[in-house]
């Protein structure tokens, strides 16, 4: 990317002006993308603006401010959350179950206010988000604090996590911004985001979240904000706390103001005159429920006038002027007729219930996920059971519980499979994982992902072989495993749509060049569970050849620094799979000859392990890792008794604490560089 040149006459002032402009542009495009769903620039163009801002802030760190888009994730992991007291209590709402409850609410309010039954009251109507309530505090327009609802009086401070929400402005914009603004909102996950997170958790052998609300709550309460940042949380703001510097006379006026200041609000809210309009709103929202991109579980009605709200007051735990109108539950009882096994793209085998079709919230349901065999055992699910199923934000509904009182004695238990239902390979369950999975390289559901991973830049680096071409290879039946890549010809690629001879030749040449990649890249390309790039390189350096690695015992594997029992078992299971060995043999016969690697002997840091933590300023983490590995050492990610040194930058957190507990030597960046130089002098 070409960055703008600074004015040499006054580079700092020039940078300050450009930084302010970039921040304004980025927040503007954030709002267009995340709030209004109306982006006007591409992701690449946004990224270019963001990188330019990062570049300028790196040149002029004193110009970095808390509201900069680059600072949305900057905090170190927390040891625990601190308590935060609400100036005004965050009360619960009284519930209504039927439309009659709603009209009774209207009559009760009129009696309390002395308003005749036929005289309409103005209501403000909102969808009731199924998320996590939070309070935001803006001081002079800057987001300074955020907390969960807690018990209504005291919550947990989650400021750093809330700052990761892209749709939420770090600084308010517009006119008449109050000195202090406390605003309540609901943090939630879209259904698309929820489904993606659960797929990732199941593929990683982790238990999935039960529903989007649990996922949002779990994400918001992460002690490490960097984890929260990887969860695309959203928020809608809905109510005031303490406000100083301006005032409002109604809920509608408040919504209009906060929306103008850049805070996200639900676009479906509206005012109604009279309870009939409020009931109509409830019916309309209920009808839209299944088509919305997020979960709602009802509608909220509030007396619109703040003056009337004050006159009505509050009870011990709820305001008298608001009502939560709950939707009917989305559950039904049906018969579990069979359990089928589904193999995912990473080899996870998921049991899926085949149900007698039943209508749940207007949708006919015939399948429900059972997640894993731990879940089946916990709920004691058997084929032939009558079960309660629920649609709770997932594409495939879930079985809530078994109605054991309906059992006849003919129900059958399902044991975990011994082999993959797709390819017949032996299946494994790795320690501390709930999932069982197939590790076969030739398993049909996994072929697409295994080829893409195999060809990726950090693996075999087969330039040009991306998703579209892999899809065509599979559609034409040209590959059934990664080994088939090395049998492809120019004529094979010429069968693709709009493929020319020149491009086909380039693809074949790229495949040919990959035959001589480093051994570490080849090991990584195989996609062995828990073996990332660094572990693959360590294995290559430790064993020197693929043959030695194939024959390695668990004892030999676990004797290597940073390779524990779980990783060792995964490696051993992979090479014990006959199908995997056959595919590797086919590649070797086709001319794949991974370059042997030897670990440097006699380097300055031979046999030493380093952990880098905190904000580093003298070098990047990649540069630090390279310096250590160039001298025969290891740069590892976690602190243990085997760690020799921890290099701590600014704001170092839990890793520094653990290093001190274990009496591991702690170095500053300067001390690390000095150690590097001292070691060099000693060698000389």
- By annotation, the residues acting in catalysis are 128
Longest dimension (CA), the chain: 97
Find all residues with CB under 8 Å of 17, minimum gap 6, and list them: none
C-alpha separations of 88 from 155, 450, 470 in Å: 12, 54, 58
Burial 153-170 (b: 16+ CB within 10 A, else e): eebbbbbbbbbbbbbbbb
* Listed residue (584, 593, 459) closest to 515, CA to CA: 593
- Rounded to whole angstroms, the Cα distance separating 243 from 403 reads 51
- Rounded to whole angstroms, the Cα distance separating 629 from 603 reads 9
Q: Is 483 helix (H, G, I), strand (E, B) or coil?
A: helix
- Rounded to whole angstroms, the Cα distance separating 78 from 98 reads 44
Q: Is 323 helix (H, G, I), strand (E, B) or coil?
A: strand
Q: Is 560 helix (H, G, I), strand (E, B) or coil?
A: coil
Find all residues with CB under 8 Å of 465, minimum gap 6, and list them: 451, 455, 485, 507, 510, 511
The residue written with tokens 């995997």 in the block is 580
Find all residues with CB under 8 Å of 635, minimum gap 6, and list them: 534, 609, 610, 611, 612, 621, 624, 625, 628, 629
> What is the pairing mode between strands 609-613 and 645-648?
parallel
The residue written with tokens 């015992």 in the block is 553
Burial 339-370 (b: 16+ CB within 10 A, else e): bebebbebbbbbbbbebeebebbeeebeebbb
Phi and psi at residue 631, in whole multiples of 5°?
-110, 25
Contact (CB, 8 A) for 585 and 441: no
Contact (CB, 8 A) for 168 and 235: yes
Contact (CB, 8 A) for 184 and 241: yes
Q: For the beta carbon of residue 66, count every other beta carbon within 10 angstroms.
A: 12
- Rounded to whole angstroms, the Cα distance separating 490 from 29 reads 44
What is residue 96's DSSP assignment? Answer: E
Q: What angle do CA 608, 524, 472 make, to 5 degrees?
A: 160
* Listed residue (460, 459, 482, 458) closest to 470, CA to CA: 482
The residue written with tokens 């699910």 in the block is 381
Helical ranges in 529-668 per DSSP H? 533-543, 546-550, 554-558, 565-576, 578-589, 621-630, 654-661
Contact (CB, 8 A) for 36 and 28: no
- Rounded to whole angstroms, the Cα distance separating 168 from 264 reads 7
- Rounded to whole angstroms, the Cα distance separating 391 from 396 reads 8
- Rounded to whole angstroms, the Cα distance separating 156 from 645 reads 35
Find all residues with CB under 8 Å of 550, minimum gap 6, and list them: 575, 581, 584
């Amino acid at each position: 990317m070409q960055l703008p040149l600074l004015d040499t006459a006054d580079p700092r002032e020039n940078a300050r002006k450009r930084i302010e402009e970039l921040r304004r542009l980025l927040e503007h495009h954030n709002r267009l993308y995340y709030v209004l769903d109306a982006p006007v620039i591409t992701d690449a163009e946004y990224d270019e603006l963001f990188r330019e801002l990062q570049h300028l802030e790196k040149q002029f760190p004193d110009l970095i401010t808390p509201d900069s888009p680059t600072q949305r994730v900057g905090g170190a992991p927390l040891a625990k959350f601190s308590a935060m007291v609400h100036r005004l209590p965050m009360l619960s709402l009284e519930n209504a179950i039927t439309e009659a409850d709603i009209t009774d609410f209207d009559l009760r309010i009129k009696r309390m206010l002395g308003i005749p039954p036929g005289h309409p009251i103005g209501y403000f109507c909102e969808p009731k988000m199924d998320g996590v309530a939070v309070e935001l505090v803006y001081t002079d327009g800057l987001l300074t604090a955020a907390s969960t609802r807690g018990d209504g009086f005291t919550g947990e401070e989650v400021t750093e996590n809330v700052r990761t929400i892209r749709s939420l402005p770090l600084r308010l914009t517009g006119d008449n911004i109050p000195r202090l603004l406390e605003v309540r909102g609901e943090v939630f996950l879209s259904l698309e985001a929820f489904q993606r997170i659960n797929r990732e958790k199941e593929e990683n052998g982790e238990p999935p979240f039960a529903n989007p609300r649990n996922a949002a709550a779990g994400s918001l309460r992460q002690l490490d904000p960097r984890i929260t940042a990887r969860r695309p949380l959203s928020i809608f703001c809905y109510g005031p706390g303490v406000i100083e510097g301006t005032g409002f006379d109604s809920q509608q006026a408040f919504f209009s103001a906060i929306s103008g200041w850049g805070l996200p609000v639900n676009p479906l809210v509206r005012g109604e005159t009279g309870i009939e309009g409020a009931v109509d709103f409830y019916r309309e929202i209920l009808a839209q429920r299944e088509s919305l991109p997020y979960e709602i579980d009802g509608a909220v009605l509030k007396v619109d006038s703040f003056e009337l709200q004050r006159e009505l007051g509050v009870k011990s735990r709820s305001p008298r002027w608001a009502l939560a109108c709950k939707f009917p539950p989305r559950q039904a009882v049906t018969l579990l007729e069979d359990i089928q096994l589904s193999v995912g793209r990473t080899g996870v085998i998921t049991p899926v219930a085949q149900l007698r079709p039943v209508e749940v919230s207007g949708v006919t349901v015939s399948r429900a996920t059972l997640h894993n065999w731990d879940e089946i055992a916990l709920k004691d699910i058997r084929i032939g059971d009558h079960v309660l199923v629920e649609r709770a934000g997932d594409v495939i509904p879930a079985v809530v519980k078994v109605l054991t009182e309906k059992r006849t004695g003919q129900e059958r238990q399902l044991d975990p499979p011994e082999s993959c239902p797709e390819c017949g390979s032996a299946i494994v369950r790795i320690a501390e994982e709930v999932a069982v999975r197939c590790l076969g390289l030739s398993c049909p559901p996994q072929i697409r992902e295994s080829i893409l991973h195999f060809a990726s830049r950090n693996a075999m680096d087969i330039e040009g072989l991306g998703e579209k071409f892999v899809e065509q290879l599979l559609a034409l039946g040209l590959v059934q495993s990664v080994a088939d890549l090395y049998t492809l010809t120019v004529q094979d690629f010429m069968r693709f749509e709009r493929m020319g001879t020149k491009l086909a030749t380039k693809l074949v040449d790229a495949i040919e060049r990959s035959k001589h990649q480093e051994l570490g890249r080849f090991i990584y390309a195989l996609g062995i569970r828990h073996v990332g790039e660094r572990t693959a390189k360590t294995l290559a350096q430790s064993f020197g050849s693929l043959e030695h690695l194939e024959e390695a015992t668990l004892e030999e594997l676990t004797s290597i620094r940073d390779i524990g029992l779980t990783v060792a078992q995964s490696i051993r299971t992979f090479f014990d799979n006959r199908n995997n060995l056959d595919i590797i043999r086919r590649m070797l016969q086709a001319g794949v000859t991974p370059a042997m690697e030897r670990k440097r002997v006699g380097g300055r840091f031979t046999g030493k392990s380093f952990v880098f933590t905190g904000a580093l300023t003298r070098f990047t983490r990649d540069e630090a890792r390279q310096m250590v590995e160039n001298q025969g050492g290891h740069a590892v990610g976690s602190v243990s008794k085997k760690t020799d040194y921890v290099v701590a930058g600014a704001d170092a957190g839990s890793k520094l604490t653990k290093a001190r507990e274990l009496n591991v030597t702690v170095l500053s960046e300067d001390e690390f560089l000095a150690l590097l130089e001292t070691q060099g002098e000693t060698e000389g």
